[in-house]
Structure 1
Amino acid sequence: MAVERSGPGNLVVSGVLGVLAVSEVLLRSTDLGGGFALLLLLTLASTLPLALVLGSGGPARSGTAVAVSTACVLSLVPFGILTVGGVVAQLVCVYVLGRAGATRLGGLLVLPYVVIALGSHEEPTRIVAVLVATLASAAAATGIAHHARSTALAHSATEQAFADTLLEHAARGERARIARELHDVVAHHISMIAVQAETARLTTPGLPAEGATRLLAIGDTARTALTEMRRLLGVLREDADTGVQRRPQPGLGQLIDLVDESRDAAGSRTRLIVSGPIATLDPGIEVTAYRIVQEALTNARRHAPGAAVDVELRYGEEDLAVRVRDNGPGPVAAGLSGHGLLGMRERAATVGGTLRTGPAPGGGFVVEARLPVKSEEEQEQEGAARP
C-alpha cells in the first residue's frame, strides 16, 4: 500500500475521499434532522485531514491521525454510519503510523473498534466495527512489517559500509607496511648489489673482460630492478596514502622532539646526550637509529614507569653508537624476549649493525646498538689504501 506521495497528491487523495464520503452521507442519511450537519462535519473531519497524515511527520502526523480516528468513531457510534472514505482514511492512518514506527499509537487507534464490536447492541454498528478492527489490525501489521524490513535493510547497509571501511583500512595499512618493508629492506639490498657489482668491476685487478661484462650486467639488472621497485612503491604508497598527507621519514634531527614527547608522556627525567663530531648520515641509518630509540623509550615507559632514561648518541668515524638506559627494575620487567626487542635487532641487522640488550651496570636496563656509517665496500677500500 503506497501512501507517501508529494504534497499535491496528498491533497488530491484526501479531497477525493472527502467528496466520496459526503456523497455517501447524502445518499444514506435523509432522516437525521439537526444531526445531519454534525454528521457532515464528522465525515469531512474523517477524510480531509488525511493529507496531513501523509505529508507530515512526528507529533503533527500522530495528532492528525488521532483526530481522523476520533471523527470516524463519533460517526459510527451515535449515527451508526461510517463511510467507505472514512474507513480508507482510518486504514491509511494506522498503516502510516506502523510504517513510521509508532506501533503503540497505531494499536490504540484500533482499540475503540474492538470495544464497539464487543459492547454495541446495534447489529450493523457491530458488523462495521468488527470489519474495521480486522482491516485496521492487518493494515497496522503491514506497516509494522514494512518498518521492520526498512530498519533491517538500513542496519545491514550501515554494517556493510562499516565492514567495507574496516577492510579498506586494513588493506591500505597492509599495503603501507609492504611498501615500508620493500623500501627499508629489499631496496637497500638491491642497491647494495648494484654498488658491489660496480665496485668489483672497477677495483678487481686482472679481471677478465668477460667477468667485467657480467658484473656490468649484474649492476644494470640490479638498477633496473631498483627502478621497477620504486615504481611499485609509488603505486602502493599512492593507494595506501589516499587522503592522507604523507610525512617524511624521521631522522636523528627529530630525536630531541621524541625525547621531549617521552618526557611529557612518562612524567620522568629523560635526557639526550650527544658526543662526537655530528655528521649527516645515510637516511637509512638515521631512521633505523630513530626507530630503535623510539622502541626503547616505549619499552622503558611500559616496563619501568617513572624511571629516569638516558639516550646517548656517539658519532664515530666508522659507526654510530646508540645507547638507551633506564634505572628501572632491570631485564625481568623489561621483557627481554619481547617482540619490541626482536624488532630492534632486525632493524639494526638490516643496515649491517648489531644490537645488545640486558642489565645495565649499577641496575636498570640498557639497549645498545652500533650502526655502521660506512658501507662494507668503503671500509674495505680504506683498509686497502692504508700502508
Structure 2
Amino acid sequence: MAGVRAPLWVCVAARPALLGLRPHLGERSARVARIALPPLTPEASRSLLLHLLRPAEHVPEPVLARLEQLAQGVPLSLVELAGALRAAGALRASPGGGWYIAPDALLDVSVTPLFERLAARALAGLPAAHRILARLCAVLGTEVEVSRVDAALRQLEPSEEMARVTSLDAGAGLRRLARSGLLRPTAPGHFAFRHPLLREALEALLPASSRRVLHAAALRATPRDGMAERRRWAHHAAACGAHAEALTAFLSLAESARRAHLSVEAEQHYTRALALLPEGDVERRALALSGRGRVRHRLQRFREGLADLGAARALAVARGDEAQQVELLLEEATARDWMEDVEGSSACTREALERIERLDEPRLSLRCSLARGRLHVRLGSGAPPCAF
C-alpha cells in the first residue's frame, strides 16, 4: 500500500460473534494473534468478589453464589455489582465492630449503570414489536422457552400497543432477539439472556404501566407446580399489583425456606412480605417479624434480629397471645446467648419460664426445659440436668 511506512499496532476487543461476521478479519496484517478471554474460573471469581466486598467478612454463601451467578465470571460485572452494593448501603457496619453484607439488600441492587446503557442501546436497534417481546422475556426470567413465551403472549390484555407483539410468532421472535445479541440459544426452543444483568436492566427500564401489564400476563401463564415456579409466581403477583396474593405467597415461601434452614432466602421472602403487609394485619405482621428475626440472628445480624423479635413480641402482647410471647422470649434468649449477653439471655429465659407455668403447651414446655438447662450452664450453678 502506498504511503509513509510506520509501525502500527491495532487491538480489537469484541464478542466471538464478530468472527462469524468477519471471518477473514486481520488476514492482511503482517502478524495477527487472536486471544480468547474466557470467564473467570469459579475460584478466581470468588477471590475477586471477596476482595471487592472488603472490609465485609463472613459473607453468607448464598449471597456470594447469587452475585457470582449474576456476574457470570466477568470481572467488570463483579466490579459493577460491588459498586452497586456499596451505593445502595448494603455494606453495613456492625455495632459490635466489623462489616457485613445485608442479604435482603440484594433485592434492589442487581441493576448497574453499565447494563442499563447496554439494555437501552439493544432496545433502540429493534422494531417496536420486538422491543415489547424483549421486555416480556426480561419479565419471564433469564431463561425462556418458546412455549412459555407463547403462553404469556396469549395472556396479554388487548390494547393498541400490545397488538404489535401478540401477532408475532414466539419462536421467530426469539430467534430475532438472538440475532440482535440479546439472547443466545441453549437448546431447541430454549434461549437465555446473553448476561443475567442485561435481563435485570431490561426489566428495570420498563415504564410502570408496561411493567404491570407484562407481569400480569406472566402471572396468568405461570403454573405453581414447584418451588421455582412459586417464587416466580409471587414475584409476578407483586409486580402487577396483586398484593394480597403476593403477600400470601411470600409468607408461605419464607416459612418453607426457614424450615429448610435456607436463612438468606427466608429473610428475603419475609422482607418482601413485610413490604406488602397493611399495618392493620397484626397477626401476619407478627408472623413475618418473628420469622425474619429468627433467621437474622442465624445470619449474625443480631441487632436487626432483636429489633424484629421485639416488634413481634409487642404485637403479641397487644393481642394477648401468651404462647407467642413465650416463644419469642425463648428466641431472644438464644440470640442474646449467641451475642454472649448472659444477663440479657438469662432475663428472657426467666420470664419465659414464669409464663410457661400458666400454659398447657407441651412443645413450648420442652423448649423451656432446654433453655433452663442452658441457663444453669451459663451461670455455672451446678444444678442437676433436666430429664427430657
TM-score, with length taken from structure 1:
0.21
Q: Between Structure 1 and Structure 2, which shows a larger proportion of helix residues?
A: 1
From the CA coordinates, give the structure whose radius of gyration is larger: 1
Q: Between Structure 1 and Structure 2, which shows a larger proportion of strand residues?
A: 1
